[in-house]
Amino acid sequence: MQLSGWCVHRNATLGICLAAGFAVWFTARHRWNERAILWFDALGLAAYSTYGASKALAFEVAPVPAFAMGVLTACAGGIIRDVLAGDPSILMRPEIYVTAAALSSALFVLLHVVGLPALPAAAIAFIAAFALRALAITTGLKLPGYSER
């Protein structure tokens, strides 16, 4: 069973995304704790980086482009969220964000290549990405910035 096939053949997947989006959109900003939004976003980042890589592999995309598609799928969601919220893009901040998406996509693709079934591979990739993002949220872990010498 392909993970991506399961997700796109059920209305509930899109329904959950739409319901969450409308709930946030139609409630006042002061009602949402900023930390709660970071945690929800961490869940979405881990899920969509895994899902994007899975979907690419389901279409028989080669492993390296499948990895990139997983990262882009997850990060595009973060960019859209920031645009709708009127916030500076998370991609321009030194937070561990793209790195967590890359970890999830890379793990899923690697586990797929070595023959692990889709659901265990997805679970491992999801947990790894969420754990890395959680570490960044709780400890303030950031990537080093570029400095000119």
pLDDT score for 16: 72
Is the residue at 51 inside a domain? yes
Whole-model pTM: value is: 0.81
What is the reported pLDDT for 107?
98
Helices (H), the chain: 3-8, 11-26, 34-58, 63-85, 98-113, 118-139
Q: What is each CA distance from 12 to 20, 50, 84, 141, in whole angstroms?
A: 12, 18, 23, 34
Question: According to the model, what pLDDT value does residue 146 have?
Answer: 66
| Long-range Cβ contacts of 21-29 (<8 Å, 24+ apart) | 25/84
Whether 145 maps to a domain, the answer reads no
Residue 128 lies in a domain: yes
99 in any annotated domain: yes
Interatomic CA distance for residues 74 and 102, integer angstroms: 9
> Mean pLDDT for each 10-residue chunk of the chain (149 residues)?
54 72 71 78 93 94 96 87 76 87 98 97 98 95 71
pLDDT at position 106: 98
How high is the pLDDT of residue 123?
A: 97
> Which range of residues forms the domain containing residue 13?
3-139
- Is the residue at 144 inside a domain? no
| Domains of the chain: total | 1
Q: Can you give the pLDDT at residue 3?
A: 54
**Residue 38 maps to a domain:** yes
